[in-house]
Amino acid sequence: MIYKIIVFSIVYLYYVDFKRRIRMKVGLIYTSTTPELIELVEKEVKGQLGEDVELYSIEDPSILAETRDAGYVTPKAAARLIGMYMKAVGEDCEAMLNLCSSVGEVADAAQDAAKYIGVPIVRVDEEMCREAVRQGKKIGVVATLATTLEPTKNTILRMSRECGKHIELVDCLVEGAFGLNQDEFRARMAESIEKIADDVDVVLFAQGSMAYCEEYIAEKFGKVVLSSPRFGAAELKKALVKKGTVK
């Protein structure tokens, strides 16, 4: 009896170690986080990849702060972001999700290196922008940061060229939104979006942290509303399927 217990214990320990070693790890690259964004991103990624996926999160708020202050992604900010990508590679991540639209073009610039290394870098917002082009001709782009508007608009315009479709963009800058609680933030979002709602077919949230407002804004204005976490998570899975890590 004791012999069987010992054998079972050894087999079980080998099994646990095997599961630990084969557990898939993905990188979540943040330049800024909110509890709402973290919750939504982790929920969407686990929904696509399963509860067992290991999430390796890295954050450097100085990147977004420097970008916001300068009005563009500075060389030093871009270098620090690329360093975060390389750190995720060094931690054995199979792929990574870039979660800041303000610096999304850095992810674009790093694609050749990602392909060479074999660790995809997925932009959280790219497929959302493509879906906005599919859904409408007049797209309202909503952001709390002016530095997020231009990169997101550039991505939408790139998607429109790829789709062979002419679209119009309408800016919606939600000012004074930092530091508000969820109810106050929803109200400020609605107040700003109301000014453009009659002029657009689609409302696109340029920042993933806005995603918890998606259903509220869609119901209030009767518009197609798009936010990035669910699109980014789905594209992360596609990248892993293409790589052969996920079937």
pLDDT at position 177: 85
The pLDDT tens digits of the residues spanning 3-62 come to 655 545 554 444 434 344 458 999 999 998 888 889 999 999 999 999 999 999 999 999
Please, is 178 exposed, middle or buried when counting C-beta atoms within 10 Å of its C-beta (0-12, 13-18, 19+)?
A: exposed
Quote the CA–CA distance of 45 and 40 in Å, as a whole number: 9
| Longest pairwise C-alpha distance within the chain | 77
Q: Are 84 and 58 in contact (CB under 8 A)?
A: yes
Whole-angstrom Cα distance, residue 208 to residue 229? 6
Q: What is the mean pLDDT of residues 139-155?
A: 93
Report in angstroms the alpha-carbon separations of 90 from 76, 96, 117, 186: 21, 12, 11, 39
Q: Which of 15-24, 74-83, 170-179, 219-228 has the lowest mean pLDDT?
A: 15-24
pTM: 0.86
pLDDT score of 4 = 52
Q: What is the per-residue pLDDT for 147?
A: 87
Q: How many CA atoms lie within 13 A of 171 on its CB side?
A: 13
Predicted pLDDT of residue 14 = 47
190 — pLDDT class (breaks 50, 70, 90): very high
**How do residues 83-136 score in pLDDT, each as one tens digit?**
999 999 999 999 999 999 999 999 999 999 999 999 999 999 999 999 999 999
